[in-house]
A and B are shown apart, each in its own frame.
Chain A
Amino acid sequence: MKTIEELNKIRAEKRIELDLRKNTNADTREKHILVCQGTGCTSSKSPQILENFKKIIEEKGIQNVRVIKTGCFGLCAKGPIVIIRPEDTFYAMVTPDDCEEIIQSHIVEGKVVERLLCKDIDGTKVTKLDDLTFYKKQKRIALKNCGVINPEDIDEYIAFDGYRALARVLVEMNSDEVIETIEKSGLRGRGGAGFPTGKKWRATRDAKGDKKYVVCNADEGDPGAFMDRSILEGDPHAVLEAMEIAGYAVGAEKGYIYVRAEYPIAVHRLQIAIDQAREYGILGKNIFGTNFSFDIEIRLGAGAFVCGEETALLESIEGRRGQPRVKPPYPAQSGLWGCPTLINNVETYANIAQIILKGADWYSSIGTATSKGTKVFALGGNVNNVGLVEVPMGTTLREIVFDIGGGIPNGREFKAAQTGGPSGGCIPKEHLDTPIDYESLKEIGSMMGSGGLIVMDDTKCMVCLAKFYLQFTVSESCGKCTPCRIGTKRMLEILERLCSGEGEEYDIYRLEKLAANIKKASICGLGQSAPNPVISTMKYFREEFRQHAIEKECKAMECKALSRIEIDEDQCKACGLCQRNCPVNAIEGEGREKRHINQDKCIKCMTCIRSCPFHAIG
């Protein structure tokens, strides 16, 4: 068991050792090679890169170099990523075969490996991470340790002020002061709805009950969102520390983290973090010698989107089908096994320790009038810099997509961005300059959601997109209430009709009517928001729906039944490239003949369009 003094000692010693992680002028001979081991980079062989570095260093007998596994650096599009500190050199798209050269050239000879440097938006090669446009407009609070520390080493977390907030809370503050600080900071729930966090804590604290629970919602089911996963993979102790602070504030001794089983790396690192914290006595009985005891258990989800809804999540922890309960009573009054329960999302927790350490005023000075602090977005889709970004509230969509995201690839046009996943909506070009916060997103028909931000270019069909989200909702509807179970299915059928050319004009009105009814009559937040992707696409792209319904035309050529791919004979140079790339041999013609497409065989995969160097296919 560690005392606060012992913790401070570890911090002081470790901080000097790790100074080079944050200080490019650190006075040291050591070098740290940081290799990203987030899920994205891991899928592209980063564990092998890590092993190769270790092996080569050992073989060559190189001193003063350490290889460190870290969480996500954020710029997933350029992964696997390797960073060398203290000089902060950023190597992108590294392969296991590059390790030898990096060691020989960079470490032994002191020469940067030019060919592995990352290109910025304007095409110039950038040596340092901080010089990339991608990072310049970001402000990292929730992600501050991601990509800096080894998530499997509690000492590294402690070195960067880890568990200092917990120590301060336990020794210097009472529960009222903690709750007041959180309330004053203006922090709102990062899971989607944006409920004031301090208010939730107060309600749970004030609820009557001998036993109370603290739950972390890490069931990140929104497709295309990976903020919570990256925090758990890169900085798991931050979540544990915040849950303990919450436990102290509301009067709970037990916490549960409900995390998706689809996130094996996150689960593994969380378990390591919990074990290490227990070993240090930071989790368990009489923490830091005080009267406060707290322990945390992991509960695995099993792949049901609806379990992200707080009451469904509680049902699932109790071992049942994840069907939402009728509210009220809210979990703050009656949650797990009928006891008052506080539920917050991973990213919300990741802000807590910082607020305690730096103060509510510091936090509330960031952001807009109603939305304080920063928000992490998982930027994906048709955008150059796919990855994880954290920006102050109030940043505009244009800044995120074009400055940080580097714009749209292949010279295409921006068409829309989708936020809030299956509960959110589409934001068209005319709203690109809207500052992002809870209220302004709602005003334009979308929502903050958990932070998935998918960019779409002008080749995307909005009716198809609406259909995609409805398919998702239909397969994930828990089936408890009729409007959601049957209503969304009927909406999907209409959208399928529109996409296959069997729609009619009246279908558009049918969709609107159904959407309004489902919104009004569903039990839980997911049902009530299920029609949102349809409503918002119809609001901004009504003409497209009309074209599908009446003219039977899909201008984006995504709806196969409504589109034909053809080769323009005037532009075809008979190079045969399309023919070689076609997976179903649907392109006919030999030698110098102009090619044409056999429509019966064509599966409209569009491979030929992409492969034609003369843009003759469309």
Chain B
Amino acid sequence: MSKMCECVEKKIREEVREIMKPYKQEKDNLIQILNEIQEKYGYIPKAAQMEVSEYLGVPMAEIYGVITFYARFTLEPKGKYNVSVCLGTACFVKGSQAILDRLKERLKLEEGKTSEDGKFSIDTTRCVGACGIAPVFTVNDEVYGHATVKKLDEVLDELEKNEK
């Protein structure tokens, strides 16, 4: 993780304090709070972890343990376009692996990683619940159903064009 300048760190700490206000200083609120932080920043910055640690009285090591345990929490920011391929069984049976393989090949990225320019990141999910239109991939919140390798290519072409 790149080092953060002090003012950014200060701002994050303030914002996180605001997020935590409705929560009592009880340990069992940890996951609820982390969920909100993840939602806001797209990852859990170290400054935020420190603030949570002080507020709840939970050691940093334990917070790190919780973050790395749950798939929804990430330590790295996601790309501007987070492309996520569903690997639920219904999608798998309909060929989502080929879509993921193609995505990794095209963006030259591994699962869970973000491109250096911060534009793209690759994710996998276990069932977004759209099994009726499997296989499915999503770009941020947009769901693309009945996906094929070709459709993925077209969507990526479009996104890359927008970025030029």
Chain A residues packing against B (C-beta within 8 Å) = 39-40, 43-44, 76-79, 221, 223-226, 229, 261-263, 299-305, 316-322, 378, 380-382, 386-387, 418, 421, 452, 454-456, 460, 468, 472, 478, 581, 583, 603-607
Contacts and interface: CB of A to CB of B under 8 A. Distances in A.
A225 B136 contact: no
Contact of B145 (A44, A226, A452): A44
Q: Is the interface of B mostly helix, strand, loop or mixed?
A: helix
The 6 closest A-B pairs by CB, nearest first: A76-B132, A380-B90, A224-B89, A303-B71, A302-B70, A223-B88
A50 to B, nearest CB: 17
B90 A261 contact: no
Given A39-B130, A302-B72, A452 B89 contact: yes
B89 A380 contact: yes
B89 A223 contact: yes
B90 A224 contact: yes
Contact of B71 (A304, A321, A386): A304
A581 B73 CA distance: 38
Interface stretch (B1-9, B11-19, B91-99, B113-121): B91-99
Nearest to B101: A603
Contact of A317 (B28, B62, B102): B28
B31 A316 contact: yes
Given A40-B132, A44-B133, A262-B125, A303 B88 contact: no
B71 to A, nearest CB: 4
Contact of B93 (A43, A76, A229, A382): A382
A150 B73 CA distance: 33
B113 to A, nearest CB: 16
A302 B35 contact: yes
Contacts of A468: 89, 92
A418 B89 CA distance: 9
Which of B31, B71, B89, B145 has most A Cβ within 10 Å? B89
Interface residues of B, number: 49
A319 B29 contact: yes
Nearest to A387: B132
Given A319-B28, A386-B131, A583 B89 contact: no
A439 B136 CA distance: 34
A386 B134 contact: yes
Given A583-B150, A606-B98, A221 B32 contact: no
Given A43-B136, A321-B65, A380-B89, A262 B72 contact: yes
Contacts of A605: 95, 98, 101-102, 149
A449 B97 CA distance: 24
A41 B126 CA distance: 18
Given A223-B126, A304-B69, A460-B93, A380 B150 contact: no
B133 A43 contact: yes
B66 interface: yes
Interface string B129-164: 111111010000001010011100100000000000
A320 B56 CA distance: 13
Contacts of B134: 380-381, 386
A336 to B, nearest CB: 9
B50 interface: no
Which of B26, B128, B153 has most A Cβ within 10 Å? B128
A223 B131 CA distance: 10
